[in-house]
Structure 1
């Protein structure tokens, strides 16, 4: 919606607050989810998301449209997450591993339970990957971004992204095999 408004030139007619509201409505959940994949803590991810949109508001008038709004917002999110990892809090406080289960709407309780359990295991394995592999898995599979978009977002070559994604898949596969997860889940 926001991208369409911008293409038609109508976004410039909206107030700064209205443009921020559009960004928050369109990307709010994605920002929290992306921040969570870095921090592994729900409350912290929500705090980072708030800071992301504060930064968006502060810089909305200077946005140069060299990338999409999604890429811009995700870049801010990743930078804030990385800043957090360099902070005193991260280095001196233990972060608990929390993973929200994704729910599936299936017919039987048994099938639903199996899907939730499979998703929990895969989610834990993804979150256990080193950050450089975890971020490409999340951006590619969960955020459905292209190699080109990920490349611009992380400021790396597409070949590096492809290589990390390949290595991440191998590490994830080995991790899942060690956990004896049924292959039909993959």
Structure 2
């Protein structure tokens, strides 16, 4: 099991840290949460039934542990996440960074129930049914939260490119 755990941690550790970070907005706390995630997986790996991918299973644990952390500490921490720059032009990179910073700041102002579905759907490319499974809510709840979350996000952002959010199909 030790070798298997190392492989799982190498494969999904960084991803789980990013997911936890998007919830708690603190790298140290996110790393601690993910340590708890892998400890829980190590102790209870026999409970993984294989109904979903191992990645989805670990993300589900990460989400729950992140919620636990937020409920126990009830603190707000400002987040600064470096953006990914893939455009060759310095000007284009600067514009992209400013837009990502603005979008992220607006996302972090949303209540967690809207933020998490928007992040899981748009950032992590999960389908509605997968998000419902991860969060243990109905698909209609996920759809409602996506619509309301996008509406709330629109009110927080001015002069932002909405093509992706406006043309998104509610696929399950």
Structure 1 residue runs without a partner (length 5+): 1-15
Moved over 6 A (4+): none
Q: 1:79 to 1:183 in 2, by over 3 A?
A: closer
Query: Which residue of the other structure, out of 123, 129, 149, is the alignment partner of 1:148?
Result: 129
Q: Tell me the residue number matched to 1:74.
A: 59
Measured after TM superposition, the shift of residue 182 of structure 1 is 4.2
Distance 1:19 1:145 in 2: 25
The two structures have a TM-score, normalised by structure 2, of 0.87
Q: Deviations over 1:109-166 (max 9, x none)?
A: 1111111111111111111110000000111111111111111111111111011001
Measured after TM superposition, the shift of residue 62 of structure 1 is 3.3
Query: Which residue of the other structure, out of 2, 12, 17, is the alignment partner of 1:32?
Result: 17
Q: Deviations over 1:59-102 (max 9, x none)?
A: 12332223221221011111111111222xx14xx442122122
Distance 1:161 1:81 in 2: 19
Q: Which stretch shifts more, 119-128 or 54-63?
A: 54-63
Distance 1:169 1:53 in 2: 33
Q: CA RMSD in A?
A: 1.8
The two structures have a TM-score, normalised by structure 1, of 0.81
Q: 1:58 to 1:137 in 2, by over 3 A?
A: same
Q: Count matched residues.
A: 164
